[in-house]
Amino acid sequence: MSRLPMWVFQLAWSLLTLLIAVLMGRVIARTVGQRLSRWAAQTKWKWDDVAIQALRRGIPTWSALFGLYLALGLWPIPAHVLDALNRTIYVVLWLSVTILAARVMGRLTVLYGSQFQQALPVTSLTEYLIKISVVMLGLLMILHGLGISIAPLLTALGVGGLAIALALQDTLSNLFAGFYVTVARHIRVGDYIKLESGEEGYVEDIGWRATQLRMLPNNMVLVPNKKLGEVIITNYDLPSRDLAVLVEVGVDYDSDLERVERVTAEVGREVMRLVAGGVAEFEPFIRYHTLGDARVQFTVILRAKEFVDQFLIKHAFIKRLLVRYRQEGIVIPFPTQRVYAVKDIPS
């Protein structure tokens, strides 16, 4: 053993130090993480679960970096090289802390975003912006810790940012349009909207480039955010989710219109009370509007709790109305056409 070169012993001790640090990091992450998880399970908070999960991920990495720092001290490395290596470890350490902090903040934004919907609605775009803000702050702190002046860097970023903005006009247009749509709250996650071009569905998410619409057939449509700021959009959930349901009906000219109105309103009230999606406290009513070729036409006004409920309400109302009309002797005439035959007139 004494005949072996010194670097062999240094390498062995370095590897042993690094191995012990890695194992200690895993043991600490598991034992401390389990105890903290049991404690967090007894609380009503959500943030502690997220923080503990981040610690369990970060401790092994930080322990390995600490072991590497100790191992470097076992080698006769020139001061300037050792300083460069220590700076590298410092940067990697704080990068890992920054990334974990960004993940934690993004997760907390999703968990507690419902409490701040009025200030900033929670979408993947807002989650990305918060993560990017944390990462940028962490990078500035790392540069400051390395003794690098931030002011010249910000100036360079300003000049370079102009060139980047010119090269990424479409991407940035979608990004800012998505941010505007999110903050303006004209469109919210969960709203049912219809675009001028015909696409319609539920807003699943507003991303940094496109907004996801889930159509009723369960297909996903991606609409560029820029387009949302340019086209006419109908939002069926604003100013409130409930909406009027209009059903067109026609009865025979011999019908008693007062009786037709009373019977139709009774069927409507029954549907509002018994059919899922109906607004029970709403009082249905009808409005006559056309003297047609073979019928008196009118519109029945019902109300649904949200957009998709109108289909079941119309379905149930039409079925019940036909049964009730037959019982009351109210006739819905078939389409008719009167033809007059004219005899040939001799020339």
CATH code: domain of residue 280: 3.30.70.100
140 and 31 co-located in one domain? yes
Query: 6-13: long-range contacts (C-beta < 8 A, 24 or more apart)?
Result: 10/74, 10/75, 13/71, 13/74
Parent domain of 120: 6-165
Residue range 250-277: mean pLDDT, rounded: 94
278 and 308 co-located in one domain? yes
Residue 56 CA to residue 92 CA, distance in Å, equals 17
Omega within 30 of 0 (cis) for the link into 239: yes
Number of domains in the chain: 3
Pair of tokens at residue 32: 């401390």
33 and 135 co-located in one domain? yes
Each residue's pLDDT tens digit, 14-71: 888 888 888 888 888 788 777 777 777 777 777 777 777 788 888 888 888 888 888 8
Domain annotation covers residue 89? yes
Residue range 178-182: mean pLDDT, rounded: 81
CA 148 to chain centre: 39
249 and 143 co-located in one domain? no
159 and 24 co-located in one domain? yes
282 and 248 co-located in one domain? yes
Residue 338 CA to residue 116 CA, distance in Å, equals 65
Which of 165, 189, 208 is the last residue before a domain boundary?
165
Pair of tokens at residue 118: 């009025």
Each residue's pLDDT tens digit, 284-307: 999 999 998 889 999 999 999 999
Residue 294's pLDDT is 84
92 and 208 co-located in one domain? no
Domain annotation covers residue 284? yes
14 and 58 co-located in one domain? yes
Asked if 144 and 228 count as a contact pair (C-beta separation under 8 A), the reply is no
- Mean pLDDT (the chain) is 83
Residue 215's pLDDT is 92
Q: What is this structure's pTM?
A: 0.63
Domain annotation covers residue 333? no
221 and 150 co-located in one domain? no
Say which amino acid occupies 336: T
Domain annotation covers residue 339? no
161 and 58 co-located in one domain? yes
11 and 155 co-located in one domain? yes
44 and 158 co-located in one domain? yes
Residue 297 CA to residue 288 CA, distance in Å, equals 6
Residue range 203-223: mean pLDDT, rounded: 90
Domain annotation covers residue 341? no
Which of 116, 143, 165 is the last residue before a domain boundary?
165
